[in-house]
Amino acid sequence: MGQSAVNRVIVVAGRRFRARRMARFSRVLDGLNGKRILDIGGSERFWREWPGADVTLLNVHFIDVAQRPRIQADATNTGLCDDVYDIAFSNSVVEHLGSWERQEAFAREVSRVAPAYWVQTPARGFPVDPHLMAAFVHWLPKRWQHRLVRFTPWALLRGPDPELRRRVVDELRLLTAGEVRRLFPDATIERERVLGLTKSYVAYRLEHGVGRGAYDA
């Protein structure tokens, strides 16, 4: 199977997981329409399948042309007022912040800018890292990751760019279940599974101080 075919498989699988996750998001938080959503770290492309959602995008850099309102800010220090939105939403962002301290700052902002939130992040315990598209590499020390990243499917698809490879390895810090619980202590935390293994976590809160049926992570 060639690189283009592998890429298509990954894209299709990602769309299916995202569609399933967003359907769950809509049900849990009573639909998308009519709610003011702040997508922290998101993009215009992500929301094209949900044109009726009232979404404001917040990002340090925007990689596509946005028709929706946008805020250029750091997710760890947004400068926004408390509860200015109905829902804070984040999909696969917190693991890109590089350090536990920045992840804590991110979680505080998510919890502060809206009474409800929904945060998804890949599980460190899953053997395949969805960013590098490789098994077990993310479990190794960073010095080994730097050496091996060029052999991953992600690097082969992106082409030879040592600076990009270094930056991606440095910024990735996938979370354990216990760390997700520490970041979002008042959330309901659900596990998305593949073949019985936890692929990712979703932490959500319906309103301040209220999760729903949270397990002890």
- 66 and 121 together in one domain: yes
pLDDT(11) > 60: no
CA–centroid distance for 139 within its chain: 19
pLDDT value at residue 7:
45
**Given CA atoms 201, 171, 70, 61 in this order, what sign does their dihedral have?**
negative
Instruction: Using alpha carbons, list the distances in angstroms from residue 150 to 3, 8, 179, 191.
Output: 15, 20, 29, 30
Domains in the chain: how many in total? 2
Identity of the amino acid at 10: I
Tell me what the mean pLDDT of segment 71-82 comes to.
96
CA dist., res. 102 & res. 60, Å (int): 14
The enclosing domain of 41 has a CATH number of 3.40.50.150
pLDDT(41) > 80: yes
Domain assignment present for residue 213? The answer is no
Average pLDDT taken over every residue of the chain: 86
Which of 11-20, 105-114, 189-198 reaches the highest mean pLDDT? 105-114
pLDDT(48) > 60: yes
- 145 and 93 together in one domain: no
* Number of residues that this document lists for the chain: 217
- 109 and 141 together in one domain: no
Identity of the amino acid at 25: F
- 98 and 122 together in one domain: yes
Q: Annotate 87-102 with DSSP letters as a single string.
A: EEEEES-GGGS-SHHH
- 121 and 200 together in one domain: yes
- 75 and 179 together in one domain: yes
pLDDT(8) > 60: no
The 10s digit of each residue's pLDDT in 177-190 is 999 999 999 999 99
191 lies in which domain range?
3-126+174-205
The 10s digit of each residue's pLDDT in 98-128 is 999 999 999 999 999 999 999 999 999 999 9
- Encoding tokens for residue 123? 């599980």
Taking a C-beta distance cutoff of 8 angstroms, is the pair 211, 188 a contact? yes
